[in-house]
């Protein structure tokens, strides 16, 4: 039986490197910048940001020509290493990235986050208040 393992790129709308790094930190991934993405049979690719796993497979982000970051991994083993398939992983990253981006912009405008939770259908709900505002 021949194993058909290969690196696969997933497109994203992620463009802000610092926000991506904060997103990965929020999700408690261990990352290295400008590192090597490991795949099946010791194949490697260069990554701008790489999630290092305890196994033999990593997940990386590479900057595309359009300035967005693509997710690059050999999902044959990466899915087991991070406990998610590529669709679940991409959804998790993009959802958290969007929240991190919004929260950063709100903080710049003088708001603070009072609460954050995920409802029963997976939506992220935020309660923000303007700094200095005294509510009832």
pLDDT tens digits, residue range 71-83? 999 998 999 999 9
Residue 13: inside a domain = yes
pLDDT at 32 over 70: yes
Q: What percent of the chain has pLDDT over 70?
A: 94
Residue 119: inside a domain = no
Number of domains in the chain: 1
Q: What is the DSSP letter of 68?
A: P
Token pair listed for 122: 């997976």
Residue 131: inside a domain = no
Give mean pLDDT, residues 16-39: 97
At residue 76, the pLDDT reads 87
Give mean pLDDT, residues 10-19: 97
Residue 95: inside a domain = yes
Residue 36: inside a domain = yes
Which residue range forms the structural domain that includes residue 93?
8-102
Q: In whole angstroms, what is the distance from residue 36 CA to residue 80 CA?
A: 19
The tens digit of pLDDT for each residue in 45-73 reads 999 999 999 889 999 999 999 999 999 99
Residue 50: inside a domain = yes
Mean pLDDT (the chain) is: 91
Residue 126: inside a domain = no
The tens digit of pLDDT for each residue in 88-98 reads 999 999 999 99
Question: What is the H or E stretch that residue 46 is in?
Answer: strand 44-51
Give mean pLDDT, residues 114-136: 82
Residue 79: inside a domain = yes
């Amino acid at each position: 039986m021949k194993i058909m393992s290969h690196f696969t790129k997933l497109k994203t709308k992620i463009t802000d490197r610092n926000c991506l790094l904060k997103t990965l930190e929020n999700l408690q991934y261990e990352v290295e910048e400008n590192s090597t993405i490991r795949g099946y049979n010791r194949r490697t690719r260069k990554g701008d940001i790489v999630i290092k796993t305890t196994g033999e497979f990593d997940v990386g982000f590479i900057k595309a020509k359009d300035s967005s970051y693509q997710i690059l991994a050999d999902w044959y083993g990466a899915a087991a290493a991070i406990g998610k398939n590529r669709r679940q992983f991409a959804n998790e990253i993009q959802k958290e990235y969007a929240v991190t981006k919004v929260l950063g912009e709100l903080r710049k405008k003088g708001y603070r986050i009072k609460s954050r939770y995920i409802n029963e259908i997976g939506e992220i709900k935020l309660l923000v208040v303007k700094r200095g505002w005294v509510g009832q």
